[in-house]
Amino acid sequence: MKKSLFLLFTIVIPLSGCSTLDQKQMSSKHYAYGTKSVYQPQSSSDHYQAPPSGYHLVYTELLARHGSRALSRPKYDYISLKIWQAAKAQNALTPLGKRLGPEIERLMTANQKMGYGNLSKRGKLEQKMIGERLVKRDKSLFENAVHNHQPIEMEYSGKKRAKDSGLAFISGMEQENPAIRSLVSKPIINKAQLYFHKQKNNQYYQNYKKHDPALQAAINQLMNQPKTHEMAQQMLERVYTPAFVAQLTAGKLSFLQKNKTKPTVYNDVDAAIQLFNLYLAAPGLSYEAGKQPWQFIDFVTPAESQWFTYVLDGKDFYEKGPSFAGTNITYRMAKVLENDFFKEIKGIQNGSNTKAAKIRFAHAETVIPFAAQMHLKGSTKSVAKGQLYRYENNPWRGSWVSPYSANIQWDVYKDKAGTLLVRMLYNEKEIPFKSQCQPIKKGSYFYKFTELEHCYGE
């Protein structure tokens, strides 16, 4: 790997740069962020189970979502500003509302400077620190890899934010062990496994997402619950006058999206969700705010954040996660990635895989279906058609399943007889495989690889 490829990511980002944000989150933990939560490791190696006697770590593989990022394109900011400008023209701004427009413009400037869709500085730091911790806790594996010249393979979805996440991750690995640099492959694009939701062979999924009547009905039900409208109007009326909000609620206002030719009607819920998404984006862009922290939290209460996070969690649950009982249409396309996880370990078993590690970088659209396909913690329960997804009846939470930089890691251990054990970490926390798989003993997180092959039908 040429040194220049990693130049951008070898700068150490000081931990003190995120302390103010972290303290604010800790003191405001009742605010919710769902899949836009900035990454926090869920455990540490101090709390992991020790491998059984006689086993040593021989391989690791990982899937990670990209880190915190800019808005994917001009949309929530663009429309929120259009709505604000319309209210200003009607003299319909509250004192608090007068502050919103300049804050949106400041966010737009930051996104333009960063590049819409690109990784933020915090996103790079998230990945860098995960890479550091990986090498620190698996020290012997990577020391042996350096000694034996074992490759480390990096794959990504083809998107720049996924590639940049991988490069930041590797810079963290190198921070802990500089000799790793010579082992890392040139980044490999693998859309079939890491961007499967947009591939031609999964057209059935794209049709489902666009046209399935049950899906559309479920999302409409989420969006049109009385409490959704109540929360939307409550949020908006702190920014706009009741008369202006009433126009939105009645569907009397339409706005032209960027690069569109036909205006779209935005009701109260639509407008609130646009604004809410700016609140969600702000923590991941903490460095880009400069000396003045983002103020979007001032426009959202904890209760509103919890409700709209639930609504957006529900949308992701139906579109990408466990979804409806009796169908696997949202996640069976992740089988190709599941197969590759197993293929890598089969290569360790038969000696054809000489790598020390394989690291993959993708998106929520990859991690969420993969977790559902594997029946991992939090992604084990669907809902019957006609039954609405609610927190009370389902464990699925976006903040656990796929926050920014979400990661799923399989560590492979081997004894002198060649028996392989596998242990899984999810967001750096030990978790079991699906309930049908039996660990080596009750309460253990270690599984024989042959048992995993059997219970997953590989």
435-453 pLDDT tens trace: 999 999 999 999 999 999 9
pTM: 0.92
Q: Whose structure tokens read 């969420």?
A: 368
Query: Kind and range of the H or E element at 412?
Result: strand 407-414
Residue among 421, 378, 375 at smallest CA distance from 403: 378
Residue among 417, 416, 411 at smallest CA distance from 433: 411
Q: What percent of the chain has pLDDT over 70?
A: 94
Residues 6+ apart with CB under 8 A from 288: 70, 110, 113, 114, 120, 121
**Span 48-92, pLDDT tens digits:** 999 999 999 999 999 999 999 999 999 999 999 999 999 999 999
CA distance from start to end of the chain: 34
Distance from the Cα of residue 340 to its chain's centroid = 21
**Span 108-128, pLDDT tens digits:** 999 999 999 999 999 999 999
Q: Selecting from 3.40.47.10, 3.40.50.1240, 3.40.50.11540, 3.40.50.620, what CATH number does the domain 29-455 have?
A: 3.40.50.1240
Is residue 362 within 8 Å of residue 405, measured between CB atoms? no
